A and B are shown apart, each in its own frame.
Chain A
Amino acid sequence: MVPLSWYIMLSAALFTVGVVGVLSRRNIFIILMSIELMLNAANINLVAFSHYLQSLTGQIFTIFVITVAAAEAAVALAVIILIARNRGTLYVDEFNIMKG
Chain B
Amino acid sequence: MGSQIIFFYFAVVILATAIITITRRNPVHSVMFMLILFFHIAGLFVMLNAEFLAAVQLIVYAGAILILYLFVVMLLNVDRESTAPRANRYWPWMAGFGLLIALEVILLVARGSFPQAAGQTMQQPAGIGAKDLGMLLYQKYLVPFEIASIILLVGLVGAVMLAKKSTKE
Contact = CB atoms under 8 A, between A and B. Distances in A.
Interface of A: 1-10, 12-14, 16-21, 23-27, 29-30, 32-34, 36-37, 40, 43-44, 47-48, 50-57, 59-60, 62-64, 66-75, 77-82, 84, 90-93
**A contact face: mostly helix, strand, loop, or mixed:** helix
A92 B102 CA distance: 26
Given A25-B22, A40-B41, A3 B14 contact: no
A13 B114 contact: no
A24 B95 contact: yes
B162 to A, nearest CB: 4
Interface string B70-90: 001101101001001111101
A1 B120 contact: yes
A64 B76 CA distance: 30
A33 B155 contact: no
Which 5 A-B pairs give the minimum distances between C-beta atoms? A71-B155, A21-B22, A20-B98, A12-B105, A24-B91
Interface of B: 3-4, 7, 11, 14-15, 18-19, 21-22, 24, 27, 30-31, 34, 37-38, 41, 44-45, 47-50, 52-53, 56-57, 60-61, 64-65, 68-69, 72-73, 75-76, 78, 81, 84-88, 90-91, 94-95, 98-99, 101-102, 105-106, 109-110, 112, 114, 116, 118-120, 125-128, 132-133, 136-137, 141, 144, 148, 151-152, 154-156, 158-160, 162-163
A77 B75 CA distance: 11
Contacts of B24: 30
22 contacts: A8-B105, A10-B14, A12-B101, A20-B95, A21-B21, A23-B90, A23-B98, A24-B94, A32-B69, A40-B38, A56-B127, A56-B128, A59-B133, A63-B56, A64-B144, A70-B65, A70-B155, A71-B154, A72-B155, A74-B159, A79-B162, A82-B162
Contact of B53 (A25, A32, A47, A68): A47
Contacts of A43: 41, 57
A6 B155 contact: no
B101 A47 contact: no
Contacts of A23: 90-91, 94, 98
B22 A68 contact: no
B88 A26 contact: yes
A60 B61 contact: no
A27 B30 CA distance: 11
